[in-house]
Amino acid sequence: MSESAAAAAAAAAVLLDRVQAPDGTGREIPDAATREVIGRAPAHTVADLDQAIERARAAQHAWETLGHEERSALLLKAADAIDANAEALAHLLSREQGKPLNGPNARFELGACSAWLRTNATTVLESQVLVDDESLHAELVYRAAGVVGAIGPWNWPLMITIWQIGPALRMGNTVVAKPSEYTPLSVLALIAVMNDVLPADVLIPISGGRDVGARLASHPDIDKIMFTGSTATGRRIIESSAGNLARLTLELGGNDAGIVLPGTEVSDIAQDLFWGAFINTGQTCAAMKRLYVHDSVYDEVVDALAEIAESTPMGNGLDENNVLGPLQNRPQFDIVSGLVEEARASGARVVTGGAAATDLGELFYRPTIVADIDNDAGLVQQEQFGPALPIIRYSDVDQAFAWANGVDVGLGSSVWSSDPEDARQAAARMQAGTVWINSHGGLHPMVPFGGIKSSGYGLEFGVEGLKSVAVTQVISGPGRKGR
């Protein structure tokens, strides 16, 4: 181990000691790559959650009355704290989630945390003058919603936590944040670092099971729920929130399609195609999950992606050479391997991969390209959420769009073409919250992001993201004549 790696490991151990449960208590959390125990997550109860929400409620008014300028200054200090601890947090994240340090993975995720938090802190949300005439002056202003419940996923646990808590805090809300049961330790460490500079009880983490998550969604003192995860869980949150009428932002499942149009120069897009699908070893809501390729370039695309898959290093994330890691958990591993086996049995061609990488560890699955597969195959119609990409051949462009749009989710999609005008016309035909051209999955903190259909509702990022964690108030009074 290099000197810098040893220093990061030591710093990560210090952070871990700050947040993990005392010896003999809590729940064991394994290293995703080695399955060795990293530490023990606190096992908070519903009673603990109730107390956390009570504290957050008590702190909310003072936090809101600080004003935007002071809150922004504190969030910028929190971003500085994340940067100062980035290497230790990345080390802990890599072990717990499995993603490698390098590539678009752990260090990338920590950089995104800082960038998004800084953008949240500095984005201006102006009030809107609706009427200003002789008889009436009416203005629309944005105020804090109150207490926000943030429920995060296991695939990008730190980054998505920031997506939730950053804008919520910026607008004057207090936050109770519940990380995934699979990746609690890195999120608890991130929040501990932020809480070194934030006022007490403005941001409270809670580490518990599904009963805690259900109570958070239904609690009468929660004013807003932000959730990223499966569509099935999102539906349960909607049902739970009926009693408290909490406002919702839901970023749910996706089964993103990409379409390669005829005449596209494959060498120009192959690397971006690969990473659009295999970022975070395919464990990304807005990754490309199915690719439709025209006859004229089909074989070339399949061969190019297979070559990249075979040459991309996979292994333990703490090895600086690797850029693909394991599946994070056994249930997800079983979903991926089961869908690939089903495709193979139905006659699809597994070009490369299609097997567990048992030499690397228990939950590693080789990057897999599946060709000559029917559009109605399970690997195409279901979100595999792992390192397996089905490539579907088409000859009729209208058919490709019908297939791409023929699912009940619509988070992201992409079109690929060497002709910019063709690409823009094609993008307008895709049914998704975001359509990328000649890329897939790239996000920007000022560009709104959200899904349609069963991929959820509500927007995150930028000005629209700030609005989503606020409530509107109209202030109406005398116009110019009455002043």
Report whether 369 contacts 309 (CB < 8 A).
yes
User: Directed axis angle between helix 157-170 and helix 106-122, to 10°?
Assistant: 10
H-assigned helices in 66-85: 68-84
Place of tokens 């004003």: 67
Selection from 340, 324, 422 nearest residue 373 by Cα:
340
| Catalytic residue annotation | 251, 285
| Number of CB atoms found within 10 A of residue 25's CB | 11
C-alpha span between 271 and 309 (Å, rounded): 10
- Tell me the torsion sign for CA atoms 4, 80, 91, 99: negative
Q: Comparing C-alpha atoms, which of 360, 49, 421, 395 is closest to residue 206?
A: 49
- Cα separation of 465 and 136, whole Å? 30
Cβ atoms of 173 and 148 within 8 Å: the answer is: yes
Q: Is 142 helix (H, G, I), strand (E, B) or coil?
A: strand
**Distance (Å, rounded) from C-alpha 34 to C-alpha 13?**
17
Rg (CA), the chain: 23
The CA distance from 73 to 121, in Å, is: 7
Q: According to DSSP H, which parts of 20-67 are helical?
A: 46-65
Which residue intervals of 101-202 are DSSP H helices? 106-122, 157-170, 184-195
